[in-house]
A and B are shown apart, each in its own frame.
Chain A
């Protein structure tokens, strides 16, 4: 083997190598396949030639030369095919046909070459071995040269053309390399093989196959340098890896980082080198994740996983990522590594957060909207159900559609889109116009004072559809602009209130009439009689009397006028009204021409004047009973009826009025107090007789005190025990008295007198007096007291023992006394009517019982209603203090009447009106107000001298107490109106009222005191 042969052989090896690597880039790419085939063809050619040169004999060399022909015959078509494929990726029929044609030609040349040689016709042995001589005389030879030039030349042209027209820099570069190398290849191969021998230079070995290496190298260079062989998945992968924004990390099977892409470096702040061969868990910082994943991937149990976790950057910043791990397996199905693809979730997270925020906002909005809708619905519901009409209108004065349901009831039609003026005065154009003018002004006026000027001109009350409606107006400015002003009109149906008021007024008038009928009974009856006489007889007498009609009418007129005046004094409203009408009628008829009409007489007859009084009188009968009218000089009224009348007066009439009238009515029912005691005179005398004692019958001394007897009934009855005691134990027997040098006949005295507003009843005897020793012994014997107890007792205290239950000094029981119950009953009865007893006893000379009793009368103010409110106020206070403050204020309610009230530190003054006219004064000490503060202002600390807050608290406390007190008054509640409290803070002051009686009551304990008072007007 010589050098030439070796070179050629090595060229063959090189071709195989090139072809193999070309294919290895991407075995499936057609271009690579063509390149591979080309290299194979060249390698074949090279190997054949390599062995041809050192062949042993000519025949062997010839056969090898013939054998090499597929290489150089198929080579050019492959080059052309390659170029075609490269320059025009588009598949087309013409290209396919052309390619096929070229290959056919190549095959034909191969066949010729294989059978009898194509380019050579002889071999000569030269120093380097067998050399072929070109067969330049044979047409086949030239045909091949043409074929060869066509293929190679057109390839070069096509590549240059492609490079020239391509916009890709890479393609231009490739075209340049390719065209240069293929030109060189063509030049050297063609030149050495064909051109030089043609001009007689043939002394060198012809190795075109080696020259072709230029070409192949160019291709190879283009491939390796410029990725000539198009996109391989690897190229793509690399490109993708470097360009994706996701972080890509290749990890080997031991969990160490093999490579990372730019994103990793960019996002995590590491250099490429810093991460190499580091455990992948470095990126995860304390999240031992990969180890587990790797072992699972190793065992083949897991090939893919996807999860969310945090990467840690070099700056220790946490970056949320979506991490996908894919196991890479080699051909032995062993784990080669893991590809980690991490998607930075921060933008997503941000979006998520924003999205969540947006959602939350929209939810909020939705909710708010719902709430608002609900609210407005609720408000509408409230407005619709509140029983008042609400409507609004703006500058156009047309009522808005949103009016409350009640409006429809009031107007009986839909008022919307009409003006309020039209709706209120559908038939009164003038009035409507007047109203519209005011509304227009109110809509346009800027000056609030002017608005105040116009507002009162609006109607406050109006009658629509037989209902009495009260109207209130409110101007609302939505913004500063006056065109957004609107007026709210609130309509309240007060018909019932009016009817009620009228009824009440009617009732009041009737009551006045009834009372006056009683008070001025004589005059009233007289007046009635006169009127009956007039209406039945006199009027007709007058009409039939001589004289002209005018004079008759004048006389009748005078009578009627007088009756009207008289009856109006008695508040007999019905008859007064009828008389008034008649008066007007007569007056009119006298003025007009019709006055002289003869028919006026008939007319007056038809009026049935005699019955005019019936309504009023029957009303009086309702109150007082039919018996009232029975007697002309005296009247008779049931006691119960009188009581009812009194109660009604208290309820219905203003204080001043009933204070004036009530005494008259009361007097009818009241009896002198003394009268009740009279029977005891007879009783004691008889009792003394039975006991063989002698007493003088007593008369009751003192003034007549008119009282409500019923009030004292039980008390007076209980006095029997006192009288019995006196006769039984007090008055001695006749013998004893004679011995004691006393008058034989004992004396019992009874005296009742009025002092201040109380009754003092004194019952005394001139008997033995109370034996204190006996009382003491008895008390010890009863076991209730010890001797020591009694030693400390004063005389009065010992005497008081006789009022205790089961106490008697009688040695034996008698029918008359001695059961020890009697005096206890007296005591309890006395106390029940708020009285008290004092006993004075003088041993040997007698005993005196002094009863201090309230006067059940009070002409000026009725006892019955006034304390009611005070008692209920005090009870409310006690209940409230006990239940809410845990404070017990003394249980005894002791209302006293006085002419002044002593005030505590905080005082609220409230006026009340209605059945009770007057002023309530509630005066508390500061401690108590502070206690109330715990309930009213639970979380507030009130400083030492915060008078203002304490004053407010006083007002609030008073409101609470009074409000609750009224509820206790039952039917009175509706008849009393309470004003707002005026509060003063003061120390040790008092209110004095000279012209009215003040009722006052203090309840207190160690720390707290409250004084409630009532001052009647």
Chain B
């Protein structure tokens, strides 16, 4: 099972993600409350996977995503977003996010997406669609 970093500004969200992922057998090795923290923790902890809230103070999820991908282009980042953030999701995907979870969180949904991203063989060609 994977080592996961959670980045979310909401304590409730972090807690519920933590619970779901732990129940799914993963280890949450770090929790960040903003993008900058997420980036710092990523470079320190080298997690297998990051769940990244899109809207966060200080540095938003997309910026953090870009910074993380800059140091590790193969980083597996799953965006967490609200229902009406389709544009942001598209932007994140364009930047190289591997997947996204739309709130509200559901155990099975979260775990199946995490599993999918972890199992996915990295394809260099697809990882950064011609941008």
A positions within 8 Å CB-CB of B: 430, 434, 437-438, 441, 444-447, 449-450, 453-454, 456-457, 459
Contact = CB atoms under 8 A, between A and B. Distances in A.
Interface in B41-87: 86-87
Given A430-B87, A441-B94, A447-B126, 20 more contacts: A434-B86, A434-B90, A437-B90, A437-B94, A438-B90, A441-B129, A444-B129, A444-B130, A445-B126, A446-B125, A447-B123, A449-B116, A449-B120, A450-B126, A453-B93, A453-B100, A456-B102, A457-B89, A457-B90, A459-B86
B55 to A, nearest CB: 17
A457 B129 contact: no
Given A453-B99, A453-B100, A445 B90 contact: no
Main secondary structure of the interface of B (DSSP, over half): helix
A446 B94 CA distance: 15
A445 B130 CA distance: 10
Interface in B101-131: 102, 116, 120, 123, 125-126, 129-130
Contacts of A430: 87
A195 to B, nearest CB: 117
Instruction: In the A-B complex, list the 5 residue pairs whose CB atoms are closest, starting with the nearest.
Output: A457-B86, A447-B126, A434-B87, A457-B90, A457-B89
16 contacts: A434-B90, A437-B94, A438-B90, A441-B93, A441-B94, A441-B129, A444-B129, A446-B125, A446-B126, A447-B126, A449-B120, A453-B100, A454-B90, A454-B93, A456-B102, A457-B90
Interface string B6-21: 0000000000000000
A444 B126 CA distance: 10
Nearest to B117: A449
B86 to A, nearest CB: 5
A622 to B, nearest CB: 37
Contacts of B93: 441, 453-454, 457
A397 to B, nearest CB: 16
A231 B130 CA distance: 90
Contacts of B89: 457
Nearest to A437: B90
Nearest to A447: B126
A454 B50 CA distance: 20
Nearest to B94: A437
Contacts of A434: 86-87, 90
Interface residues of B, number: 16
A459 B100 CA distance: 16
Contacts of A454: 90, 93
A449 B94 CA distance: 15
A453 B87 CA distance: 13
Nearest to A459: B86
A799 to B, nearest CB: 65
Residue among A430, A437, A457 facing the most chain B CB atoms (10 A cut-off):
A457
A138 to B, nearest CB: 126
A450 B126 CA distance: 8
Contacts of B123: 447
Contacts of A453: 93, 99-100
A434 B94 CA distance: 11
Nearest to A456: B102
A450 B120 CA distance: 11
Contacts of B94: 437, 441
B130 to A, nearest CB: 8
B99 to A, nearest CB: 6
A445 B87 contact: no
A438 B81 CA distance: 18
Nearest to B102: A456
A690 B103 CA distance: 82
Contacts of A446: 125-126
Residue among B86, B116, B126 facing the most chain A CB atoms (10 A cut-off):
B86
Residue among A444, A449, A459 facing the most chain B CB atoms (10 A cut-off):
A449
A704 B94 CA distance: 72
A449 B116 CA distance: 9
B53 to A, nearest CB: 18
Contacts of A449: 116, 120
Contacts of A457: 86, 89-90, 93
B37 to A, nearest CB: 26
A272 B91 CA distance: 96
A457 to B, nearest CB: 5
B19 to A, nearest CB: 25
B47 to A, nearest CB: 21
Contacts of B87: 430, 434
Contacts of A456: 102
B129 A445 contact: yes
A438 B90 CA distance: 7
A446 B123 CA distance: 11
Interface in B24-42: none
Contacts of A441: 93-94, 129
A582 B106 CA distance: 38
Nearest to B87: A434
B49 to A, nearest CB: 16
A447 to B, nearest CB: 5
B1 to A, nearest CB: 21
Nearest to B98: A453
Contacts of A445: 126, 129
A465 to B, nearest CB: 22
B118 to A, nearest CB: 13
